[in-house]
A = this chain, B = another copy of it.
Amino acid sequence: MDLKSIQNYSNRKINLSGWVQNIRGNNKIQFIQFRNSGKIIQVVCEKEKLGEEKFLEIKSLDQETSIEISGTVVDNLKSDLGYEILLDELKIVSSSKDYPITPKEHGPDFLHNNRHLWIRSKLQLAILQIRNELSYQIRKYFYDRNYVLIDTPILTGSIGESAGTLFETEYFDIGKAYLAQTGQLYLETAIFAHDKVYCFGPTFRAEKSKTRRHLTEFWMLEVETANFHNEDNLALQEDFIKTISLATIEKSIQELKVLGRDIEKLKSYFEKPFVKISYREAIEILQKKGEDIKFGEDINAERENILTSEFEQAVFVKNYPREIKAFYMKQNPNDLETVLCADLIAPEGVGEIIGGSEREESYDKIIDRLNEEKLPIDSYTFYLDLRKYGSVPHSGFGLGLERLIAWICGLPHVRECIPYPRLMGRLDP
């Protein structure tokens, strides 16, 4: 029995183990904010019922003391859970002296230094429960559609796109191994076996950037589909984001209320079509808004905000210039300066949550692009083999989990969207 199934215990006796999140009251009645299973309920403790001695013991309970309680569940429509508990008995399991995180305000550094305790706080409970729900819905979406999970390796020998942002480690007598910053190239090998595949795991970027949107270790979903073109890929992404987000919202109403989220507004993002514009159109819009930007430049975070504010919705920006995108993206046959790709930009300042493209399936064209980019062809032997032995059109995308959580939870910074954030200046706890 736990607080997640409290609705089955209305007007019934209940026994629970948990913690004193907080306590307040007067000399006749005390109210414990009691935590169990990531939920918090009010426990009402009356002196008249419990006796002087027990009441005084309760009144002096310290924050985070672990306790066992028994009592009766009754309706309380004003509370988050809809119930409260009238206490019959209480037993202390273990004490808690001078718990460092008090109900007063603390600075972010202090809270991150105490992340192992901070995760017990009300907002943090809600965020990590939403992360749990969303992670499960992501996997369920692809499992239900016959996608096969391919766990791509973290330790890799060959260097991919940009060596400068890779963590490296000594690997026995072989030399250096690098922590993967994408599973895509491996995932592409697997479409030839299973047609529809995905991976979902930790990903690493040794980027020296301190922004609200970057972690050095984050979770990324990557999806790859055989015999699939750019437009199919966009349709899949839109259906995917809408399906998993609405399912998560449905299951997380209590948590979203704790986070102060406007649930109707949030749902509306996932009930109407996402906007689709080309990169060329995006540049025109930005120029009209007075931005000094021209074809060939990347669209930075501030400019992403201008675009999503224009539409008050998530925006696909399609067909970026070849010169600023990766070598494996397929050239756009209708506009040769661009490639068949799209980024999905989320509103509310969240920014890019998905990057995807159709992949170049021609061996000769991939070789040309590698040469153009001065990338070492030897490092791509296995990838090039895929274009030799039964190549097929295919497309894929990558989603940054923490950014989607930030969008759903309405958080300005991705660092609270993962249990133990890793940033340029933070490796502990």
Contacts and interface: CB of A to CB of B under 8 A. Distances in A.
A425 B66 contact: no
Contacts of A206: 172
Contacts of A4: 146
A345 B422 CA distance: 36
A219 B428 contact: no
A116 B96 CA distance: 54
Contacts of A390: 19-20, 64-66, 93-96
Nearest to A153: B420
A241 interface: no
A190 B173 CA distance: 38
A193 B201 CA distance: 23
A17 interface: yes
Nearest to A198: B132
A2 B146 CA distance: 9
B190 A17 contact: no
Nearest to A192: B120
Interface of A (DSSP majority class): mixed
B17 A392 contact: yes
Given A201-B201, A429-B382, A119 B157 contact: no
A9 interface: no
A37 interface: yes
Interface string A134-171: 01100100010010111111111110000000011111
Interface stretch (A123-131, A262-270, A333-341): A123-131
A139 B136 CA distance: 8
B420 A66 contact: no
Contacts of A153: 217, 419-420, 422
Interface residues of A, number: 93
A129 B148 contact: yes
Contacts of A227: 17
B186 A117 contact: no
A410 interface: no
A196 interface: yes
Contacts of A157: 427-429
A291 B23 CA distance: 60
A385 interface: yes
Contacts of A391: 66, 93-94
A149 B131 contact: yes
Contacts of A365: none
Interface of A: 2, 4-5, 17-20, 35-38, 64-66, 93-97, 99, 116-117, 119-120, 124-125, 128-129, 131-132, 135-136, 139, 143, 146, 148-158, 167-174, 177, 179, 186, 189-190, 192-196, 201-202, 204, 206, 208, 216-217, 219, 226-227, 361, 381-382, 385-386, 388-392, 418-420, 422, 424-425, 427-429
